[in-house]
Chains A and B, each alone.
Chain A
Amino acid sequence: MEDYQEQEYEFWRKLDDQMDRRRLLKRGLAAGAGLTILSLSETALAARQRVTATTPPLRGRDVTVKEMVAEARKEGHLNLIATPPEWANYAEIIPTFSKKYGIPNTVDNPEGSSGDEVQAVISLKGQSRAPDAVDVSPTFAVTPANQGLYDKYYVTEWKSIPRAMKDGRGYWAADIFGSMAFGANLSVVPSVPKDWSDLFNINAKFALNDDPRKAGTAFAGVFAAALGNGGSLNDITPGIDFFAKLNKAGKFQAINVTPQTVASGQTPVTIDWDYNQLGYKKTYTNFTWAVSIPKSGTYSSYYCQAINATAPHPWAARLWEEFLYSDQGQLLYLKGYAHPARFADLLKRNVVPKAQLAALPALPAGGVKFASLAQQNKAKAVVNAQWGPKVLGA
């Protein structure tokens, strides 16, 4: 299954790279013809389904906005999970959605991990408290999709989501992407590190967010160190070696980072997603919090939206995704310093407010490159095997 996925990724990426106008036109026509023929029965089915009006649609374009809102309001609620307020402006996005459509929401376990979300989908199946939609890291989008835990759904704006950030079969799509960035408590250290080598010179011990074998953000931090120290998306070992060296130099601590440990001076220098680091400026009010993207290399990734196949409120879930992928939703993400998935499209159409665009973290120098699922899995196996012995000395 995973080889298939890797091939698919490669295929779509190659497609993006080699596309020129003529080829695009040709392929588009061929695809269009083929798809029309193939989808006639599906459209018929969808049309029939529209008549029954209780089966949620496969595509956002299949129903009118009014219809979707009406059905969602009939359901009367939206269950979200692990969408904390300080993450990419969810503090504004969620209430805006509820107010706009008059649908109350519940956010379960806001600080939960992607693994917790999938666990909830499984454990709470059939209950009215089960999550309707999840926001997970790529691994927890692909594998559960293959296990049938998610529903297919193509949002109205599906086309303007880059290929590399969505599932061809429609099970999930990225909502935001970002890169790893340093953050520093300036009341403890004089400045934020600009690059990986600076970490050896700070008068404090650097902390990954948690154990990289457990937390996705910490794992991304190790990958970032690899990319900044001669590694590649195929080779995470330089990252592990970097932290081993840092630990030997006495400049690393393996501890779970929380806002208190940052404020108390225990972990004054951290690494996290750029949108989170910038968002923390609102949390850390009584000292200056500085952020920077590592100069010699960092790791980028995205988070994915998916709809629970057994969602208690399927229409509300789809309306939620429509909202997130609309210009309004994507711009709200952008306000939270996250690059929305449709960033390229928004830029092209000039709809981004200048001030917010300027406040966005810079993209990595070489452009944004995502690791494929196969590359991620390989890296995880390496981290799992080597992190303990090399870095922790265990």
Chain B
Amino acid sequence: MGPEGTRSLDLSATAVDSVGRPGPHGSGRRRFSLAWLGVVPFFAYATAFLILPSVVVLVGAFKSPTGSFTWDNMSEVIHTPEYRHAFRTSIELSIVTAILGGALGLMIAYAAIRPGTPRSVRPVVTTFSGVAANFAGVPLAFAFIATLGFTGIVTKFLDEHLGINIYEHGFTLFSFTGVAIVYLYFQIPLMILVIAPAIDGLRSEWREASSNLGASSFQYWRHIGFPVLLPSVLGASILLFANSFSAYATASQLTGGSVELVPLIIGQNVGGDVLSNPQLSQALALGMIVVMAISMVLYALIQRRASRWIR
């Protein structure tokens, strides 16, 4: 109960576990081992409903149709140009929507939270974001077709009132660009939800102090604002990357295959009418997991750094 760092901001990452350290009579060891029981339910649940089912399926990535072990599926994924292309397109799309979604989400979140904006704006923005972040699939695809499709209201407006026919200029909703625009509809809200607490961590005192010391707004952002926010922003962007990479429903509704994405190929093989190669789709899924695992490791590392600044 003394000044053992119970109040320090470093409670998070590397704090000494002041309660759990071994006591003078060795009774601490017993206490420590019993303490593990407290997390058993969680690990048991995760193992039973996440790890084991995933392993059961992904083992199939290494099975041949006759059941024997084989590298064929994985090698097919790596060597077929179509699949490599799909991975590349998926990664590119995810990076683009993560960066754009991250930047736009940050701007909108900051606009909603910063001092000066009416207090009622934030709950509206955050509840709307909560809904929009999961508004995907057919409704979203059609909403955008009704907006930017051939007979969409924005298309018509631009054509009739401003004389600009976007389709004549080569725009189409069913392309990489179009899909990216639609994906932003759930990427931006996710960013807003995730970055809001980080923005909360930007103390207004810092802003006041810096302006008292004569710094301009630009200088504030460059030396204080962005450095503080950057780890959280990067971490959130990786989350957006993962979200976009595994998105399936919207792209499958929006494009009839015109944009090659990995989840779409998996969907073709698992629930489609034409192809049927479950082992291959499992190998593709394993590839997806590898990509995502890498991005998640990066996320975890960056989060470590970010958590130091936010209470």
Mask: chain A, 28-53; 1 = CB below 8 Å from B; 0 = not: 00000000000000000000000000
Structural contact, B151 and A266, CB atoms closer than 8 A:
yes
Mask: chain B, 55-73; 1 = CB below 8 Å from A; 0 = not: 0000000000000000000
Report Cα–Cα, A116/B272, bound state, in Å.
Answer: 7
Structural contact, A254 and B145, CB atoms closer than 8 A:
no
Structural contact, B257 and A143, CB atoms closer than 8 A:
no
Q: How many residues of B contact A (CB 8 A)?
A: 30
CB of B124 closer than 8 Å to a CB of A = no
Report Cα–Cα, A290/B150, bound state, in Å.
Answer: 21
Structural contact, A265 and B150, CB atoms closer than 8 A:
yes
Contact A216 B256, CB 8 Å, known A260-B142, A261-B145, A265-B151: no
Structural contact, B142 and A253, CB atoms closer than 8 A:
no
Cβ-closest chain B residue relative to A211? B257
Cβ-closest chain B residue relative to A387? B257
CB of A380 closer than 8 Å to a CB of B = yes
Q: Which residues of B contact A253 (CB under 8 A)?
A: 172, 174, 256
Q: How many residues of A contact B (CB 8 A)?
A: 45
Cβ-closest chain B residue relative to A119? B271
Residue of B258, B260, B272, B274 with most chain A CB atoms under a 10 A cut-off: B274
Structural contact, B255 and A115, CB atoms closer than 8 A:
no
Mask: chain B, 243-275; 1 = CB below 8 Å from A; 0 = not: 000000000111111101000100110111111
CB of B82 closer than 8 Å to a CB of A = yes
Q: Which residues of B contact A219 (CB under 8 A)?
A: 273-274
Structural contact, A264 and B256, CB atoms closer than 8 A:
no
CB of B300 closer than 8 Å to a CB of A = no
Mask: chain B, 277-309; 1 = CB below 8 Å from A; 0 = not: 000000000000000000000000000000000
Select A388's contact among B138, B260, B273, beta carbons within 8 Å.
B260
CB of B223 closer than 8 Å to a CB of A = no
Contact A212 B274, CB 8 Å, known A261-B145, A264-B145, A264-B146: yes
Cβ-closest chain A residue relative to B258? A254
Cβ-closest chain A residue relative to B256? A254
Structural contact, A256 and B268, CB atoms closer than 8 A:
no
Structural contact, B257 and A213, CB atoms closer than 8 A:
yes
Structural contact, B260 and A255, CB atoms closer than 8 A:
no
Q: List residues 345-391 of chain A with CB under 8 A from any CB of chain B.
A: 380, 383-384, 387-388
Q: Which residues of A contact B276 (CB under 8 A)?
A: 115, 118, 139-140, 143
Q: Which residues of A contact B189 (CB under 8 A)?
A: none
CB of A392 closer than 8 Å to a CB of B = yes
Structural contact, A256 and B255, CB atoms closer than 8 A:
yes
Report Cα–Cα, A219/B272, bound state, in Å.
Answer: 11
CB of B231 closer than 8 Å to a CB of A = no
Structural contact, B254 and A215, CB atoms closer than 8 A:
no
Report Cα–Cα, A154/B85, bound state, in Å.
Answer: 47
Q: Which residues of A contact B268 (CB under 8 A)?
A: 211, 213-214
Report Cα–Cα, A359/B268, bound state, in Å.
Answer: 35
CB of B149 closer than 8 Å to a CB of A = yes
Min CB–CB distance A353 → chain B (angstroms):
33
Structural contact, B257 and A254, CB atoms closer than 8 A:
yes
Min CB–CB distance A283 → chain B (angstroms):
16
CB of A208 closer than 8 Å to a CB of B = yes
Structural contact, A254 and B82, CB atoms closer than 8 A:
no
Q: Which residues of B contact A114 (CB under 8 A)?
A: 273
Structural contact, A214 and B82, CB atoms closer than 8 A:
no
Contact A115 B271, CB 8 Å, known A213-B257, A254-B258, A255-B255: yes
Structural contact, A392 and B258, CB atoms closer than 8 A:
yes
Select B267's contact among A118, A137, A214, A384, beta carbons within 8 Å.
A214
Structural contact, B145 and A116, CB atoms closer than 8 A:
no
Residue of A140, A188, A253, A258 with most chain B CB atoms under a 10 A cut-off: A253
List the 10 shortest-distance A-B pairs measured between CB atoms, nearest first.
A211-B257, A216-B273, A254-B256, A254-B258, A265-B151, A214-B272, A214-B268, A266-B149, A113-B273, A255-B256
A sample of 30 inter-chain contacts (CB < 8 A) reads: A113-B271, A113-B273, A115-B271, A115-B276, A139-B276, A140-B273, A210-B256, A210-B257, A211-B256, A211-B268, A214-B257, A214-B272, A214-B275, A215-B274, A216-B273, A219-B273, A254-B255, A255-B174, A255-B254, A256-B254, A257-B256, A260-B145, A261-B142, A264-B145, A264-B149, A264-B151, A265-B150, A266-B145, A388-B82, A394-B258
A interface residues with partner B (beta carbon < 8 Å):
112-116, 118-119, 137, 139-140, 143, 188, 204-205, 207-219, 253-258, 260-261, 264-266, 380, 383-384, 387-388, 392, 394
B interface residues with partner A (beta carbon < 8 Å):
82, 85, 138, 141-142, 145-146, 149-151, 172, 174, 252-258, 260, 264, 267-268, 270-276
